Structure 1
């Protein structure tokens, strides 16, 4: 028991507390009203880009939560469309939102990053599947939101990624709620059999594969090793090591 406690302390508790301390020492908006939600300018002007496009994006969330968690969303644009469509899940009202924020908007003043980007015919083929996955999300009604262990914003995007495996991207380890599953839905195996996830309702789990490396998951926090792109994954800090490659497919 002492060895287990030591592992939990070193791998999960200590990094999480360190990340919380770093966050507390920084400057954050006082509330959602004073936060910056404007466009970051990260995405091209859709009116000047005739190709279809798909982006999966994430940004740190607000307050001390941002020490441990990001908020994720997905953006699509059909060929010839003059605007993007952005899909999020939030914690108030009807949770699934379309175009509630700029496609590349900051989240609680935090700049977003692109996790994957697809353009052209490949993106165009996936947009109907993405829209179907958004519509099929089972936790899309009022009250269908729990900040922990889910279903939350990251649980929603993780569902879309599972339904559209061609996107071939994993949410970052700081995406608390990505491993949420309904109790009884314990095992997820990717169609190519290269990635296996085990989940106990998002409270604990394990992932092994080319997409995740090896991840131990506890209470929404992740400790792991990325083998394909060498890095260690720590609660709050995410990947430390080789930068994650952004897939730019056209």
Structure 2
């Protein structure tokens, strides 16, 4: 039985561990998000990409990007676990590409809201970010982790209508 299990899992682990290392993996734009300088309307986008390395076989990493009306850049909110090892909060808020590859994995757009009423939703998201209770905590499983964060924001801002994929392991931690 062990031999059969190893035979089935070995190719998956090899595939999940192959490719670029984290230092050289792409962090470029996937070309999904509109140019903020050419788009005056407010935008909220939520993305998911395969988690880095072998974890990507089973799980995704999720993040939220917002651009208020007339802003010329996006603000990205996400939880990044290895920040804790550097003595930093795991909750990261930065001006960044909203649709960047997650260490080589192409992002998938989960939610895209634009236009009237979106500035109000952005304010509610920013308030939820400020109140996120696990800014300094990270556990790969069962959570809190990178998927707990957008799930928690979705609970605080239900009118966002965010539903995370089943591979967003840790999203149930927010319940």
For the residue of structure 2 that corresponds to 1:129, the secondary structure is helix
Larger helix share, 1 or 2: 2
State the match for 1:34 in structure 2.
24
**Residues 47 and 107, structure 2, Cα contact 8 Å, conserved in 1:** yes
Contact 2:60 2:168 in 1 (8 A): yes
Q: Matched residue pairs, number?
A: 165
Distance 1:18 1:126, change over 3 A: farther
Give the TM-score, by structure 2 length: 0.86
Query: Which residue is equivalent to 1:132?
Result: 127
The structure carrying a bigger strand percent of its residues is 1
Contact map agreement 1:19 1:67 (CA 8 A) in 2: no
Query: Structure 1 residue 39: deviation in Å?
Result: 1.4
* Larger RCO, structures 1/2 (Cα 8 Å, 6+ apart): 2
27-36 or 63-72, which deviates more: 27-36
Q: Superposed, which structure 2 residues align to 1:150-229 within 5 Å?
A: 150-181=143-174
- TM-score by length of structure 1 reads 0.61
Report the equivalent of 1:56.
46
Deviation by residue 1:158-189 (Cα, 9 ceiling, x = unmatched): 100111111112110000100014xxxxxx5x
- Give ranges in structure 1 of 5+ residues lacking alignment: 1-13, 182-187, 189-250
Unaligned runs of 5+ in 2: none
Structure 1 125/18 Cα, relative in aligned 2: closer, same or farther at 3 Å? farther
What is the Cα-based RMSD across aligned positions, in Å? 2.1
Q: CA deviation at 1:101?
A: 4.4
1:123 to partner: Cα distance: 1.3
Q: In the aligned structure 2, how far is the partner of 1:18 from the partner of 1:128?
A: 47
Mapping 1:70-85, distance limit 5 Å? 70-85=60-75
**Aligned-partner Cα distance in 1 for 2:144–2:63:** 14
